[in-house]
Amino acid sequence: QVRLVESGGGPVQSGGSLRLSCAAPGITYSLYCIGWFRQAPGKERERVAVIDSGGATDYADSAKGRFTLSRDIAKNTLYLQLNSLKPEHPAMYYCAARLQYDSSTCLGLDSHSMRYWGKGTQVTVSS
């Protein structure tokens, strides 16, 4: 059974950084796409970044150059480094996963494509 538990969210000042963690004890990384999504109040849940079984990452345009996705397979943990946070970045950040079937499965995923979800961790940015 896949279980995803996020942590690391909290308040941060504009321009600051946070590192989010997703503990995924039930995940076999060779079988899954896993990544981060975020949802701001009144908006749809959107992809931030996803990593495939081979370690290739797929970032949303808004995340490129500012956020970094990584994983520690030995610790069964996924990370999202958030840098240069802006007031428009506050949101609930979710860890999500789905099975990967081929090399293109993990590209351009939207929230409806993901099978497993954590409960989220809140990020707030003050100016």
Strand 91-99 relative to strand 116-117: parallel, antiparallel, unpaired?
Answer: antiparallel
Residues 6 or more apart whose CB falls under 8 angstroms from that of 65 comprise none
Digit-by-digit pLDDT tens for the chain (127 residues) are 889 999 999 999 999 999 999 999 878 888 999 999 999 989 999 999 999 999 999 999 999 999 999 999 999 999 999 999 988 767 999 999 999 998 888 989 999 999 999 999 999 998 8
Tokens at 74, concatenated: 């030995």
Q: State the DSSP string of 1-38.
A: ----EEE--EEEETT--EEEEEE-TT--TTTEEEEEEE
